[in-house]
């Protein structure tokens, strides 16, 4: 009998009515002839409440205790879902991370999964029970409770689907799937029917928040078909799967804007070996995550160096840069906060020419000034002024046909 893993996020099970609706969804899948494993997050604002309870007592709570505390949110949800299913006449059993031996390392609040004991779950499924597993949590070798960090329940669901050999891992959420771009920025954004792991990884790390990068990475590694769909409407969402030939026909699958970032530049750094290493060691020590590093030579002796950071890291990054300034003989440091990063993503770029050209032309036509450009194999990103970001995105959506389903777009010239 084929297995389906269904993951419900916090907003999809926020109250009794929503828990019942989720339970009905599960029962429909059981009636379709599947064994179902449900993965659940904490209800709505439960986690926020627990975090605030903790901070009231300790502004810097020990991470082990934080995990002990936060893991209760999912434990509550899974037992409540099991009760709802029981009330609807279906046998169900809930498990904590510990109870299915979701073994992780000991990095509290951001642990990595090492192994899962699928046997206990199979045994219950084979007794015709619906199994409900608490997302986000595990235990380390010493039986301390750990949590998986942001997007942890997605990761639990995908890891379980891999361990159980599930046919599909469905991620139920409050949107009806992945769109070509954020519908709040471009209202005609089309829903994507199918997308590759690599494209989704780029989109997720560029801020498309529906599913966490780590869960997509897991899906790719273990070839788990992911299905992002709406918890309120019963219709197909977006399938994330391995790359299939027809995907290459789609040049650009999606576009993103990231506005919560800043650019830092070090102008006139001595162009000698080791200076770049010194600068980035300094930033790493300050725990600043750095993206899109660009270095350009301005003379035989001097170079300019710039990089992007998240806005929340700005203070730390500035301090780190100021600290290293004299050592690398830097003339001047500049900071730009009024910027945004516009990206287009598509596996078709691997085989199609002219995507960059088409992108830059469209931006030029829309009179958007490009500050800088970075690319990966399946992505092109431009830094633009923040107040031109929306206009820029719209221009790209139109030129790459992102208001239409992939099969109705014209091919690139």
Residue linked to tokens 């690398």: 328
- For residues 19 and 328, which CB has a smaller minimum distance to a copy of itself in the complex? 19
- For residues 78 and 178, which CB has a smaller minimum distance to a copy of itself in the complex? 78
CB of 222 to a copy of itself, least distance (A): 26
CB of 314 to a copy of itself, least distance (A): 29
CB of 369 to a copy of itself, least distance (A): 50
State which of residues 16, 272, 281, 298 lies at the interface with a copy of itself (CB under 8 A).
Answer: 16
Segment 88 to 117, residues that bind a copy of itself, using CB under 8 A: 92-94, 96, 98-99
Question: Smallest Cα–Cα separation from 174: which of 14, 400, 300?
Answer: 14
State which of residues 59, 89, 245, 410 lies at the interface with a copy of itself (CB under 8 A).
Answer: 59
- For residues 66 and 161, which CB has a smaller minimum distance to a copy of itself in the complex? 66
Report yes or no: 59 and 66 within 8 Å, Cβ to Cβ.
Answer: no
Residue 87 contacts a copy of itself per CB under 8 A: yes
State which of residues 54, 175, 276, 373 lies at the interface with a copy of itself (CB under 8 A).
Answer: 54
State which of residues 14, 51, 69, 356 lies at the interface with a copy of itself (CB under 8 A).
Answer: 69
Provide CB contacts within 8 A for 348, sequence distance 6+: 247, 248, 249, 250, 251, 252, 253, 355
Per-residue contact string for residues 192-221; x = within reach of a copy of itself by CB under 8 A: ------------------------------
CB of 7 to a copy of itself, least distance (A): 19
First-to-last C-alpha distance (Å) of the chain: 47
Residue 20 contacts a copy of itself per CB under 8 A: yes
Count Cβ atoms within 10 A of the Cβ of residue 109 and give its class: 0-12 exposed, 13-18 middle, 19 or more buried.
Answer: middle
Per-residue contact string for residues 135-174; x = within reach of a copy of itself by CB under 8 A: --------xxx-----------------------------
- For residues 47 and 388, which CB has a smaller minimum distance to a copy of itself in the complex? 47
CA distance 261 to 341: 8
State which of residues 11, 29, 30, 50 lies at the interface with a copy of itself (CB under 8 A).
Answer: 50
CA distance 77 to 86: 14
Among the listed ranges 76-84, 179-187, 202-210, 326-334, the one in contact with a copy of itself (CB under 8 A) is 76-84
Report yes or no: 257 and 391 within 8 Å, Cβ to Cβ.
Answer: no
State which of residues 61, 149, 249, 310 lies at the interface with a copy of itself (CB under 8 A).
Answer: 61
Residue 125 contacts a copy of itself per CB under 8 A: no
CA distance 175 to 185: 15
Residue 86 contacts a copy of itself per CB under 8 A: yes
Number of residues that bind a copy of itself (CB under 8 A): 39
CB of 306 to a copy of itself, least distance (A): 41
Estimate the crossing angle of helix 197-205 against helix 213-222, to 10 degrees.
Answer: 160
Residue 326 contacts a copy of itself per CB under 8 A: no
Which residues contact a copy of itself (rule: CB under 8 A)? 16, 19-20, 50, 53-54, 56-62, 64-66, 68-69, 71-72, 75-76, 78-80, 82-84, 86-87, 92-94, 96, 98-99, 143-145
């Amino acid at each position: 009998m084929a297995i389906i893993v269904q993951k419900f996020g916090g907003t999809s099970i926020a109250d009794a009515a929503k828990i019942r609706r989720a339970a009905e969804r599960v029962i429909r899948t059981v009636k379709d002839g599947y064994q179902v494993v449900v993965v659940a997050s904490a209800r709505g604002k439960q986690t926020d409440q627990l975090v605030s309870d903790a901070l009231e007592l300790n502004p810097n709570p020990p991470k082990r205790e934080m995990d002990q505390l936060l893991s209760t949110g999912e434990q509550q949800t899974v037992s409540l879902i099991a009760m709802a299913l029981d009330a609807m006449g279906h046998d169900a059993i809930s498990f904590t991370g510990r109870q299915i031996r979701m073994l992780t390392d000991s990095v509290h609040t951001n642990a990595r999964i090492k192994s899962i004991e699928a046997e206990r779950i199979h045994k219950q499924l084979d007794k015709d029970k619906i199994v409900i597993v608490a997302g986000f949590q595990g235990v380390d070798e010493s039986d301390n409770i750990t949590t998986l960090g942001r997007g942890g329940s997605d990761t639990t669901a995908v890891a379980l689907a891999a361990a159980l050999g599930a046919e599909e891992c469905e991620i139920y959420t409050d949107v009806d799937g992945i769109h070509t771009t954020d519908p709040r920025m471009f209202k005609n954004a089309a829903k994507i029917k199918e997308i590759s792991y690599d494209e989704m990884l780029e989109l997720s790390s560029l801020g498309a928040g529906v599913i966490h990068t780590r869960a997509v990475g897991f899906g790719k590694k273990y070839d788990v078909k992911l299905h992002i769909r709406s918890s309120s409407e019963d219709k197909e969402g977006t399938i994330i799967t391995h790359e299939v030939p027809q995907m290459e026909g789609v040049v650009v699958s999606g576009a993103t804007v990231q506005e919560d970032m800043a650019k830092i530049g070090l102008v006139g750094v001595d162009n000698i070996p080791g200076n770049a290493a010194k600068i980035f060691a300094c930033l790493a020590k300050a725990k600043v995550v750095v993206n899109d590093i660009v270095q350009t030579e301005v003379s035989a002796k001097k170079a300019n160096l710039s990089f992007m950071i998240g806005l929340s890291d700005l203070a730390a990054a500035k301090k780190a840069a100021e600290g290293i300034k004299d050592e690398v003989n830097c003339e001047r440091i500049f900071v730009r906060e009024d910027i945004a990063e516009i990206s287009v993503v598509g596996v078709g770029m691997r085989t199609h020419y002219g995507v960059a050209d088409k992108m830059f032309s469209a931006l030029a036509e829309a009179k958007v000034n490009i500050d800088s450009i970075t690319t990966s194999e399946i992505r092109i990103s431009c830094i633009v002024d923040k107040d031109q970001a929306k206009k820029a995105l719209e221009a790209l959506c139109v030129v790459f046909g992102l208001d239409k389903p992939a099969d109705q777009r014209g091919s690139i010239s």
